[in-house]
Structure 1
Amino acid sequence: MKKLLLIVTNIDMYASGKLRTGLWLSELTHIYHSVKEKGWNITIASPKGGAVPIDPESLKPLVLDKISKEYYENPVFMDELNHSKSLEEVKNDSFDCIYLAGGHGTMYDFPDDTNLQYIISKQYESNKMVAAICHVVGGLLNAKLSNGEYLIKGKSMTGFNWFEETIARRKKEVPFNLEAAIKERGADYSKSFIPMTSYVVADKNFITGQNPFSSKEMAKIVIRELEKV
């Protein structure tokens, strides 16, 4: 049985205090659903543990897909989500895949979390899968390998781009330009030709998705690659 660690945010508000944020629900539900269908083991964790806020934008009718709606209305799932383990609790556990689920909230509590950096680096250097989608690739920015280099240096990857931030009307709210930060770390960044469409990049055991619309494809690719191991 495969074991997956799904990591989510604890942040529910932008620094300005004007808008709410949190987990983008579909970025968790699609991988969660796919893993459950396989009968594999799931642990949900967050930097602090406990309650996980959901970005209200991800619950709007135009973006709340059938699977995500069903899980949002499932009290068992919601209870599990709001009793997430802390990264401190799980940092020394072994997993077949570490999956970082996104949302703007992750731009605040992921990049400088030392437990997260430790978990990601250990996982990658153990030749096990590291996957991240959308804004949460920001949590990969400061993870370093044992040789001192940034983990994402030279890696083929993607993530939410600056033009998509314009479309989302969050450029003035976010703490940094994610696309620029990825490039500054020396990663080989690419994105879909059409903004807000599904795009996934797999670089061996390192898999990234560009935006929420990549959630289904990310889940398929992660499951497919895990089944090969």
Structure 2
Amino acid sequence: MSPPRRALIAVTSAHAPLYPEGKETGLFITEALHPYNVFRQAGFEVDFVSETGSYHPDWLSQQKEWLHGDDLLVWEDHNSEFRSKLDHILKPADVNYDNYGIFFASAGHASLIDYPDAKGLQAIASKMYTDGSIISAVCHGGAIFPGIIDLSTGKSIIAGKVVTGFTTQGEEEEGVLDTIISWKRPTIEKSAAAAGATYVSPPDPWAAFAHTDGRIVTGANPASAHVTAEEAVKVFDKL
């Protein structure tokens, strides 16, 4: 019996100063919007969930180099399906994991703060993985993986897997590595290694790049959100 054609997009609840003048990181908007669009176009129902049932948009992700055209119109329209669902985001207690065939961890640097301890989100993804669903993450979304346990092994679901995610080089180029260290959080490369995974880099930190290993699908950066979701759908359709 194949999993339901529904996708659950996880969103960070965290926010913290990261950019000049104390502007904050939070949900990187297109890392939720682009997968949402892919899943809807592929005939999936889609819901959003965060650990606390709240979210805060990332400042950089709202700037015109990252959010423009139709994406900007959808974001600014509180009656759009995407924005309405995001503004009525679920909490883990509201979610029946049996209803979904894809779990997708969207991101933003804030994911590094709350995803490692997001027990509710991790439990949903762990149960979904056990039931045969696809588990996917883009950019900093991979911060959730060490806590998603394969119930058959007691280890992270990425132990022994090959994954990608945002590069440490990218953190250095953005000038935010020291801030991440001050949060006492590992980079995606380090958290993947600690979970027993092999990390693979994109051709450059900003190139669109996704990698599939079994039912684990990962993407490297904001530019990869669309292709990562497409790969997740491909794997789902092969089940």
Taking the aligned partners of 2:96 and 2:23, their CA distance within structure 1 comes to 31
Distance in 1 (CA, whole Å) between partners of 2:203 and 2:6 is 34
What is the CA distance between 1:179 and its match in structure 2? 1.1
**2:38–2:226 contact (8 Å) kept in structure 1:** no
Give the letter aligned to residue 187 of structure 1. Answer: A
1:69 is aligned to: 72
Q: Does 1:13 align with 2:23?
A: no
Which residue of structure 2 aligns with residue 102 of structure 1?
107
Is 2:158–2:216's contact at 8 Å kept on the other side of the alignment?
no
- Identity level (%): 25
8 Å CA contact retained: 1:30, 1:67? no
Partner of 1:111: helix, strand, or coil?
A: helix
Which residue, 116, 123, 133 being the options, matches 2:138? 133
CA distance in 1, matches of 2:162, 2:86: 31
Under a length normalisation based on structure 1, what TM-score does the superposition of the two structures give?
0.91
- 1:38 is matched with 42
More helix by share: 2
**Counterpart amino acid of residue 195 in structure 1:** P
Asked if 2 retains the 8 angstrom alpha-carbon contact of 1:6 and 1:99, the reply is yes
**2:209 maps to which residue?**
199
Residue of structure 2 equivalent to 1:25 = 29
Does 2:227 align with 1:217?
yes
Alpha-carbon distance in 2 for matches of 1:159, 1:166? 15
* Paired residue secondary structure (2:37): helix
Q: CA deviation at 1:143?
A: 2.0
Deviations 1:135-164 (A, max 9, x none): 110011222222222221111101111110
Cα RMSD for the two superposed structures: 2.0
How many residue pairs get aligned? The number is 228
Q: Do residues 119 (structure 1) and 146 (structure 2) align?
A: no
- Segments of 5+ residues of structure 1 without an aligned counterpart are none
CA contact (8 A) 1:29 1:67 kept: no
CA distance in 2, matches of 1:71, 1:223: 23
Q: TM-score, normalised by structure 2?
A: 0.88
Unpaired segments ≥5 residues, structure 2: none
**3-state SS of paired residue (2:122):** helix
